[in-house]
Amino acid sequence: MSTAPPPTRSLSLGLAFCLALIAAASMLYYHQALFIPRAREVQQSKGLANGYSFGNDFYQIWLTSRELLQTRQNPYSAEMTRAIQTGLYGRPLDPTRPSDPIDQRAFPYPAFVDLLFLPAAAIPFPIVRILACCALGALTIASVLLWLRVLNWSLNWKWTTLVLLLTLSSYPALEGLYAAQIGLLVSFLLAASVLALQRSRFVLSGTLLALTAMKPQVTILAVLYLLIWNFRSPRATRRFYTGFFGTLAVLVGAATIVLPHWISSWVHTILAYRHYTPPPLVAQTLTSWLGPSLAGFATFLLSVGSIAIALALAWKNRTAPAQSFSFLLTLTVLLSITAFVILPGLAIYDHLILIPGILLLFRHRKLLQEAGPIPRLTGFIGALILFWPWMAAFALLCLLPILSTSVLRSTAVLSLPIRTAASLPFAVLALLILIWRAIARKTAAPA
């Protein structure tokens, strides 16, 4: 005989679900009806609005894959870069025009990415971008479900639907889906790899992890941890390494057969890429606080220190069971550090790697409430940073009838819902550290 849920619990769930629907609708309207059209207007004023906007990130892969298939064109060549610029902006970028974007939109991926997506090259891009958006949306849903399994968190279907609704309507997800960013695919592959690892399917785990090398900067710290972690068992190490290094060898080898000198070309492109893309969030934050004269040295120290702490943490927990809190906390801390130390500042769509950390925090939120006033206050600030985009989008929509067009189109007002996007990785890391300390104190306390 089943027991009905308490009325108060059903009421709170129903209210949360209604609020989530309103928040998701508000954020979707803001992104598609206000933010994107305004961005297109700005580009049009610079003579750059005649190319592809929807699916712009995947366009680089589609075009270079097609040219590689048809003419063996080097995806890193200057000619290919100009072709990408023409497809995205309607014309090649002119470095003598101050209004042109600094980002040259050169092909930034390893050459084997083109080989993996060769089937897409045979389909017209207007169709490909729709298919890619739908596929990436499905993979984002799957990522959340996989992370819930990794955390061994069994939510009922209503709460799961609420989490999925907020994830898909989050600013990083909307940006990634609109651009058809393969970073969403990489996030899915990482989640699937970790779940396979927990279930002792080591070859599959290593294979999936190797495929995340499509965007190595997103998973580099997590990969290092999992490689160190698998030293704990010779049998597991052998099988995991077979999947990881075997798959990587196939990918690199196949790309080298097609393009013998692609590695040097890719490295050159990445080094140049760092000069015209925004620096990581840690550099942007310190520059705004300390000014450009002191920010460089401070950024170097903080970045090196963060990565050193990350590696020390990975080594300390190299023998932790894959289902343990120590393992999960280490992995989520490394992903948080990646988000603000390694990833470019504008790569907000890659912040979906914070999903496991956010879910872990919500699952253990009571630990913060019991840890004292400072952790509770920090938790409240973190929740405010997380939910601010939806709240600001809803408030903006409510104010639409009374806001003038000039005020609405201003950067100060239109950017309100995305003001906390850069703060989220710092907040997640701070709360994970507080959770860690709370558990350590609880474990060390005498019975």
Q: Dump pLDDT digits (tens) for 361-376.
A: 999 888 888 878 888 8
Buried b (16+ CB within 10 A) or exposed e, 208-240: bbbbbbbbebbbbbbbbbbbebbeeeeebbebb
Is pTM, for the whole model, over 0.75?
Answer: yes
Listed in sequence order, the residues at least 6 apart from 240 whose beta carbon sits closer than 8 Å to its beta carbon are: 197, 202, 203, 205, 206, 226, 230
Q: Where residue 6 falls among pLDDT bands split at 50, 70, 90? A: low
> What pLDDT was estimated at residue 11?
60
Residue 50 lies in a domain: yes
Percent of the chain predicted with pLDDT > 70 = 96
Q: Where residue 236 falls among pLDDT bands split at 50, 70, 90? A: confident
Whose CA is closest to 281, among 335, 339, 336, 334?
339
Residue 28 lies in a domain: no
Residue 304 lies in a domain: yes
Range of lowest pLDDT (178-187, 285-294, 328-337): 285-294
> What pLDDT was estimated at residue 206?
96
Answer whether residue 274 shows pLDDT above 80: no
Residue 88 lies in a domain: yes
Residue 385 lies in a domain: no
- Report the domain count for the chain: 1
Residue 335 lies in a domain: yes
Which of 235 and 132 is assigned the larger pLDDT? 132
Answer whether residue 447 shows pLDDT above 60: no
> What pLDDT was estimated at residue 416?
93
> What pLDDT was estimated at residue 445?
59
* Average pLDDT over every residue of 122-127: 94
> What pLDDT was estimated at residue 109?
95
> What pLDDT was estimated at residue 145?
97
> What pLDDT was estimated at residue 1?
38
Most confident of 86-95, 116-125, 268-277: 116-125
Domain extent, residue 224, equals 45-94+101-363
* Average pLDDT over every residue of 314-330: 92
Percent of the chain predicted with pLDDT > 90 = 62
Cα distance between residue 195 and residue 197, in whole Å: 5
Residue 358 lies in a domain: yes
Residue 420 lies in a domain: no
Answer whether residue 35 shows pLDDT above 80: yes
Answer whether residue 166 shows pLDDT above 60: yes
> What pLDDT was estimated at residue 2?
41
Q: What is the pLDDT of residues 135-164, one digit of tens each?
A: 999 999 999 999 999 999 988 888 899 999
